[in-house]
Amino acid sequence: MAAFAVRDAISQANLEPGAIDLLACATTLPDLLVPGFASTVHGELCELFPLEIVSTQGVCCAGVSALNYAASQIELGKKQTAIAVASEFPSRLFKNTQNVMKLGVEGWLRLIKAERVCPQEIDWLLCHYSSHFFREQIVELLEQTGCMIPEEKWFTNLYSRGNTGGVSIYLILEGFCNSDNLQSGQKIFCFVPESGSFTTAYMMLTAVENTNKPMIYQISNFLEVPESSTLESVKPEQPNFRQAYLLRELVWIWLTSAILPEIATGIM
């Protein structure tokens, strides 16, 4: 499946296979223990020249890791044309947990506190979540804290594709880019709230005009989330922003007190 996806991407981008100089492949469980997953995929792509390969694992965040590595190598000037791909088989192993949304809310508040994200400046939220049940809870909570991105700006394929692990962010991006929603200059925030052992991934993308249609490119690496900051700079454009500020602080205390004991219990 990964090899077919790579060929399709090369065809749609009108690239020569020989121009690819980096292949980053992501999965949760590779087909074989050895060689690495990227080696297996590269072996199926005989049209590619010898090139650097890298394999990433990490459940739902694996795809973001591969994409981040490819983008970083291009940004550093070490590579000219890179392809990141993800493939999954054992989607039946992905199960819902209550910690998914707790961790997601905590991470979102951390980014706002660190002034790395401003909800009012985001045009689209591409969020991978495993259950509509969790979405309803998180929407209600974020609306009360004044940190909510309006639901009409959310894009998901959960109801048509299900939980697809490391492939999730790629399928969401593919579906969004092929929709009529994307416009040049828009900011797209990609969010994987939880991915095995409490890992969270974020990407901020900006749409730029292509010769055929708008496309998105990565403008930042993984967002580093500091342990502490202040909320004074977060002032929602609402008349009750003081109440929202206090509620955010209460939510922050509740999240950290709820998540840490569960993590400690899991370690023991």
Q: What is the pLDDT of residue 52?
A: 93
234 or 74, which is more confident = 74
Q: What is the pLDDT of residues 48-63, one digit of tens each?
A: 988 999 999 877 788 8
Q: Is the pLDDT of residue 239 over 70?
A: no
Q: Is the pLDDT of residue 226 over 90?
A: no
User: What pTM was estimated for this model as a whole?
Assistant: 0.58
Phi-psi region of 115 (alpha: psi -120 to 50; beta: other; left: phi over 0): left
| Token representation of residue 94 | 């992905």
User: How large is the average pLDDT for residues 142-158?
Assistant: 82
Asked if residues 262 and 99 have their Cβ atoms less than 8 Å apart, the reply is: yes
Arithmetic mean of pLDDT over the chain: 76
User: How large is the average pLDDT for residues 30-56?
Assistant: 88
Going by pLDDT thresholds of 50, 70 and 90, the confidence category of residue 266 is: very low
* Range in 100-109, 127-136, 207-216 the model is least confident about: 207-216
Q: Is the pLDDT of residue 151 over 90?
A: no
| Token representation of residue 169 | 């962010």
Q: What is the pLDDT of residues 162-215, one digit of tens each?
A: 677 778 888 888 889 888 888 889 999 988 776 655 667 888 999 887 755 544
239 or 66, which is more confident = 66
> DSSP assignment of 11-37, as one string?
HHTT--GGG--EEEEE-SS-SSSSS-H
Q: What is the pLDDT of residue 219?
A: 41
Domains and CATH numbers, the chain: 2-89 (3.40.47.10), 99-262 (3.40.47.10)
User: How large is the average pLDDT for residues 118-124?
Assistant: 90
User: How large is the average pLDDT for residues 82-96?
Assistant: 71
Q: Is the pLDDT of residue 231 over 50?
A: no
- Angle (nearest 5°) at CA 172 between 167 and 174: 95
Q: What is the pLDDT of residue 234?
A: 44
Q: What is the pLDDT of residue 45?
A: 92
* Range in 34-48, 160-174, 200-214, 226-240 the model is least confident about: 226-240
Q: Is the pLDDT of residue 132 over 80?
A: no
265 or 176, which is more confident = 176
Q: Is the pLDDT of residue 37 over 50?
A: yes
> DSSP assignment of 176-237, as one string?
HHTSS---TT-EEEEEE---SSS--EEEEEEEE--SSS-EEEE-S-SPP--S----TT---S
